[in-house]
A and B are shown apart, each in its own frame.
Chain A
Amino acid sequence: MPKYVIIGASAAGIGAVEAIRDVDPVGTITVISEELLPQYSRPMISDFVSGKATLEKMKCREDYFWEKNAVQALTGRTATRLNLTGKYVELDGGERVNFEKLLLATGGKPFVPKIEGADKEGVFTFTTLADAEHLAAKLENAKSAVVVGAGLIGVSVTEALAKRGLRVTMVEFKDTILSLLLDSTAAKIVENAIRKAGVTIVTGQTVQRIVGKRENDHVVNGAVLTNGDSIQCDVVIIAIGVIPRTELAAGTDMKTNRGIIVDKFMQTTVPDVYASGDVAEAYDFVLNENRSLPLWPLAQLEGKVAGYNMAGKKAKYDGGTSMSALKYFGVPIISVGITNPKDDAAYEILVKHEPEKEVYKKIVLRDNVIVGMTFVNAIERTGILFHLMKHCVNVKRFKQALLSDDFSLAALPLSTRKKVYPEAAMR
């Protein structure tokens, strides 16, 4: 009987395998993945569509990853049902896989709102390699595209389509793009870069209806916006967001909210059953609450924590927060935590904006502790700020240095350095 069973083999699943093998070299591991080649980097699918990354480059682990870690990999298989009292997973073929410790790393699925015509040929979502392959195949004969949603996925697919020479229109319901990550000043800098690449951005609108061709209604010919405007296009990509794939938790004792509820050890409300990655609601150290944060680095960390605990080594998840690094349209951006607080009275905001250089730096403080930051076109050393943020360092004494171009570790008082950088080399 496999000791460890992991459902899902993307970031969280991979992190868990590595952590388990770090402490338990022999316990049997079975990984169940719907994908045939699961160990690739999902964030790289836009580079795949643009032609910048080959399938080989996308592999984030070696081909022999499963063999190396003595994993029984059931790829191309779907877990259909859980029996947590009987401690087994049921597969699509009806077989049962027993477990001692189970990890749900099933990820998220694209949210597709009810749009008339969304079932037409030429409408895509964009989260997996299969999505990217389908889209890439269609692009051979496509000249124009409408991207619905201007979040991380929307912007990344827009860049890929623009690079492939398509005429792209990005439609965003909010007033600015990337609104969950950026304030309007930062968003405007990216919007300029996107427009320079020939993309049309429409804000404050969404797609109401997708229309078919006159000769074949089942094939996409355009999109109609809420204001009635219609845009001719050959493909529509729906990139509104992802929702946790919690289907397997239904009918079990596992408590779910939007995602599966986990403790700081990534264990669900059912003993021996863990959840990590986009499917879980893990701890956010800035908001001090658990929430769904579908981000690759966090999924990998959460998977690692789950893996250690499954293998009997106590490990606590320090928490993550909304944290994104962006590279799209040649504008490097770091956005972490609370970047655009509504209740201004509780926050102090430090800003440095150099419009001629398109450099924008913003730090959000609450009681002299960094709780958020946005850096556009000047992102180096932001990791130091992130470190201060994670350790809730009071920055009152060196606040003025934080936005300076030569901000560095040397700007920190010695006492602070000693406290948060315990390594001898830094003393």
Chain B
Amino acid sequence: MKRIIAKEEACMGCGLCEVHCTVQHSKSKDIIKAYTREQPRPISRVRLEINKPVSFAIQCRHCEDAPCVSACLAGAMRKDEETGMVTHNAEKCMGCWTCIMVCPYGAIKMDVSGKVVAKCDLCSELEVPACVANCPNGALVCKEVTP
């Protein structure tokens, strides 16, 4: 499976990872349309954390023994046995927020609807996740690891 690794020392804190994550999860997949026309604007599943001079981007780590999967009240958060990815099924999600309470990375957000959560899906339809592909300083890298 793909894993996204943050290189803290290379992060400039520009926030393009969040911009491109938003675009990738928009309906139009177009940066101008996503930011000007889509209401509410889709949220970024990656979060840039800044506490100057420290900055790095963080998204779902797809934990080996994922606390969100064990805690999910609805069976919406699952560990894919083949890929090792933690997947979230928004159709099943009941918006109870238990996963937000137990995610050690704070990487699960309330979606714009306020009814379900949203998190990194590793841009499964792309070769390289949008945050990685658009990081101008190589602070996010994508690695293939065996689950």
Contacts and interface: CB of A to CB of B under 8 A. Distances in A.
Q: At the interface, is chain A mostly helix, strand, loop or mixed? A: helix
B51 A334 contact: no
Q: What are the 4 closest A-B residue pairs judged by CB atoms, nearest first? A: A60-B75, A381-B106, A297-B71, A383-B103
Interface stretch (A207-215, A233-241, A320-328): A320-328
B46 to A, nearest CB: 12
B22 to A, nearest CB: 16
B91 A57 contact: yes
A41 B74 contact: yes
Given A384-B104, A386-B102, A410-B55, A325 B49 contact: no
A47 interface: yes
A427 B70 CA distance: 26
B70 A47 contact: no
Interface string A399-427: 00100001011110010000011011111
A421 B54 CA distance: 16
Interface size class of A (residues with CB under 8 A): 35 or more
Given A57-B94, A409-B106, 16 more contacts: A43-B96, A58-B74, A297-B70, A297-B72, A297-B73, A300-B71, A301-B70, A301-B71, A325-B96, A325-B97, A334-B101, A336-B101, A406-B50, A410-B54, A410-B55, A421-B104
A18 B3 CA distance: 25
A151 B120 CA distance: 34
Contacts, number: 123
Contact of A334 (B67, B94, B97): B97
Given A41-B74, A44-B94, A410-B56, A379 B49 contact: no
Interface in B94-139: 94-110, 114
Interface of B: 3-6, 8, 47, 49-51, 54-56, 58, 61, 67, 70-75, 91-92, 94-110, 114
A381 B58 CA distance: 12
Contacts of B99: 383
Contacts of A426: 6, 56
Contacts of B58: 408-409
A81 interface: no
Contacts of B56: 409-410, 426
Contacts of B104: 383-384, 386-387, 420-421
Contacts of B50: 406, 408, 410
B74 A334 contact: no
A382 interface: yes
A304 B106 contact: no
A61 interface: yes
A53 interface: yes
A334 to B, nearest CB: 5
A420 B104 CA distance: 9
B94 A423 contact: no
A50 to B, nearest CB: 11
